[in-house]
Amino acid sequence: MSTRDLNYSDRRARMTARHDLATGLVIVALAIFLFVESLSIPVDPEEPGLSSRFFPQSICGLMALLGTILAFNGARGRAAPDDKTTFAGSVFVRKVLPLSALSFAYVWLFQLFGYTTATLITLYIASYLFGVRGKALALLSPIMSLLFYYLFFGLMGVFEPPAEIFDVMVYLKGL
Amino acid sequence: MDLINGFITIFSQPMTMLFIVMGSVLGVVVGAVPGLTASAAIAMLVPITYYIDPLSALAFLYVIGKAGRFGGSISAILFNTPGTTAAAATILDGHPLTQKGQAGKALKTASLASAIGDFTGEILLICGALTIATFTKQLGPPEYFAIYVCAFLIIGSVISSSVLKGIISTLFGASLAMIGLDPITSEPRFDFGMIELYNGLSLVPLLIGLFVISEVFTQATHNHANDGHHDTVKANNPEDSQLSWSEAKRCLPFIGKGSAIGSIVGLLPGVGSAVACFVAYGEGRRKAKNGDKWGTGVIEGVAAPEAANNAVSGPSMIPLLALGVPGSTIAAMLLGVFMIHGIQVGPQIFETSGDIVYGLFAAGLIGILLYFLIGWFGSAFIGRQIDKIPAIMIYPSILAVACVSAYTARSSLFDVGLACIFGVIGYLMRVTNLSTAAAVIAFVLAPGAEQALRQSLLLSDEGFAIFLDRPVALAFFAIPVFAISLRLYSRLRSQKTPAEMLDSA
């Protein structure tokens, strides 16, 4: 193994350790939050056996303990030998964040404008974000939206929620 | 006899048969698309099972899982990209065979080995599940709690490259299962004042978020600009596309060993096909007379891992059917389908829902035959068609289907939002090497574990000492301790300092 390879694996290990530190801290924060929340679970002192709080609190305790160990190892720059994290902040912001925002927007659009409009818009933007261009971009969204519409709401008979503002399908059916 | 009844049930229900055929085709296609796994496809299709009868639903998803494992070999052989992690070892000899113009031979070898391996595993499941179930009927809550703890720790310790992260993933999944009503007192827990969380999180948005939407996000980070069409080298002569009887006979010992390795690995919770295929490949190469040629394109190098990864399928269902404890993600999803249809899974299932269980076994065997035929005659065609569709057009459509699927289960937009949240969480888990599969299995296991623990202590006058009086429970507690210690010990032994590595280089 060359010195350059070692430098590379060393850099990867240090990056993994940094990510482990952050992951450990998030896990500890989550455990603490859930533990505090568990204190509001009603408990009957006369009830035999373990209370409703025992299991959730045990899980929180273990999560906090293991999260602390992960964060501690990360702070010391140590990671498991085969453990290689791949998180990249810039990629997350450029690629994942817009797509996740779009998926949340889909829920909101679905509520306001019904399935068809929401899926058309979401699929169009998602295709654009993935790099689909030209004729394919123009055709993919309407074809797939209609296909899924007939599959789920037509063939399977899934209940279609009424749109709060305007549903193009209701308008088209009324013509 | 019960199995024959299972076949009769399947053949007398055209709808069930249709779902088995669809499952075989869909499984092979989904498995062959790089990045799409059988687990992701099943996660997306679980909501559909609300609308069909339980046997058709279970058979459909079970066969997708089986065919998906085989489908992964198509892209591994043709495009040097495994469709699923289970086919990662198939690349080593499969793609070199394609480069020699022998893609047809490699694909036929993969079909044959997968079908024989899967058949072996299925027979083990049919014989083993009922045998184990007769023993597990006598187990009480303390033993069950020990089995749950054993499953949690084994899955957590083997599923990730870091034991710590694997166990954290299972605890995260278990914490999600705590949302909703207490199983004994029915007190609400962690509902944060939201009526939708009062009865707990639904499995469907969790599955879709962690397996499907997170995969779409992961694919969005890849650069698909270089995903050109793959050139396939044409066969020089007709024999290059065929698998002769003598070649098949040469592969049989490796298929046998691969099937045995896969069946044993399948019994271990959480280990999975990816491990089985590499163990079988390594073992096959070590024992083969032409071991030095493995990796340059020999059919035995395709046969061994393919038999192993498919042999995992049947035995991985044994813990689910004999104990009610899923040992793999697909088993966890099938448990979800059993629960959707109100079927109690555990050792009693052979008496209470024997027709469904034996129907499922029969469906598995029919599914194996179907995907073998699809693979033998049509895998090259399927591969060519998949190569024509750019990945950038597949994933936006999958995002839309995933969202609609999440809605379908309970006609709830809240579930769609939840699936999106779990999509982001799943992506972050993937890139930080936490295991989404471990989280899902733990989510399914945790309520049973809590119930078993609390029932044990209600039975006991001496508190936790009840576990000390139960030898079976103690044995199950000891297994993960031994397994984790062994893994940590072997890691400590293999750890070298950078200076030592330079010295040995």
Do residue A86 and residue B431 have CB atoms under 8 angstroms apart?
yes
DSSP letter at A160 equals: P
Stated length of chain A: 175
DSSP letter at B90 equals: G
For the stretch A167-173, contacts whose Cβ atoms lie closer than 8 Å and that sit 24 or more positions apart, written own/partner, are A167/A113, A167/A114, A167/A116, A167/A117, A168/A113, A168/A114, A168/A116, A168/A117, A169/A114, A169/A115, A169/A116, A170/A114
Single out the residue of B445, B57, B424 nearest to residue B212, CA to CA: B424
* Chain B environment of A48 (Cβ under 8 Å): 458
Bridge partners (DSSP) listed for residue B180: B189
Do residue B408 and residue A23 have CB atoms under 8 angstroms apart?
no
Least confident interval from A64-68, B39-43, B494-498: B494-498
pLDDT at res. B272: 75
Q: Decide if B501 is inside a domain.
A: no
Do residue A55 and residue B453 have CB atoms under 8 angstroms apart?
yes
Among the partner residues A67, A95, A107, nearest to B168 by beta-carbon distance = A67
DSSP letter at B184 equals: T
**Min Cα–Cα distance to chain B from A174, Å:** 24
Among the partner residues A1, A69, A103, nearest to B420 by beta-carbon distance = A103
In contact, B449 and B459? CB cutoff 8 Å:
no
E strand or H helix that includes residue B181 = strand B180-181
pLDDT at res. B344: 86
- The residue range of the domain holding B303 is 2-492
Least confident interval from A85-99, A146-160, B16-30: A146-160
In which band, very low, low, confident or very high, does the pLDDT at B370 lie, cut at 50, 70 and 90? Answer: very high
Task: Report the alpha-carbon angle B225-B231-B237, nearest 5.
Answer: 170
Considering chain A, what is the average pLDDT of its residues?
A: 90
Q: CA nearest B501 in A: which residue? A: A1
In contact, B214 and B436? CB cutoff 8 Å:
yes
In contact, B446 and B177? CB cutoff 8 Å:
yes
Coil vs helix vs strand at B188: strand
Chain A interface test: which of B192, B404, B430, B445 (most A C-beta within 10 Å): B404
The domain spans of chain A are 3-75, 89-174
* Chain A environment of B165 (Cβ under 8 Å): 23, 70, 80, 83
pLDDT, tens digit (0-9, with 9 covering 90-100), for B265-306: 998 887 778 889 999 999 999 989 988 899 999 999 999 999
Q: CA nearest A118 in B: which residue? A: B400
Q: Inform me whether the pLDDT recorded for A11 exceeds 60.
A: yes
Question: What is the ipTM for the molecules in this complex?
Answer: 0.94
Q: Compare B264 and B461 and report the one with higher pLDDT.
A: B264
Phi, psi of B180 (to 5 degrees): 115, -165
pLDDT at res. B318: 93
Do residue A66 and residue B164 have CB atoms under 8 angstroms apart?
yes
Number of A:B CB contacts under 8 A? 205
In which band, very low, low, confident or very high, does the pLDDT at A144 lie, cut at 50, 70 and 90? Answer: very high
Among the partner residues A79, A100, A130, nearest to B423 by beta-carbon distance = A100
Whole-number Å distance between alpha carbons of B22 and B64: 8
pLDDT, tens digit (0-9, with 9 covering 90-100), for B312-336: 999 999 999 988 888 888 999 999 9
pLDDT, tens digit (0-9, with 9 covering 90-100), for B469-493: 899 999 999 988 888 888 778 777 7
pLDDT, tens digit (0-9, with 9 covering 90-100), for B172-223: 999 999 999 998 888 899 999 899 999 999 999 999 999 999 999 999 998 7
* Chain B environment of A130 (Cβ under 8 Å): 219-220, 224, 392-393, 395-396
In which band, very low, low, confident or very high, does the pLDDT at B498 lie, cut at 50, 70 and 90? Answer: very low
Q: What average pLDDT does this structure show over B425-438?
A: 95
Q: Decide if B504 is inside a domain.
A: no
pLDDT at res. A6: 60
- Look at chain B and report how many structural domains it folds into: 1
What percent of chain B stands above pLDDT 70? Answer: 95
In which band, very low, low, confident or very high, does the pLDDT at B502 lie, cut at 50, 70 and 90? Answer: very low
Coil vs helix vs strand at B189: strand
In which band, very low, low, confident or very high, does the pLDDT at B251 lie, cut at 50, 70 and 90? Answer: very high
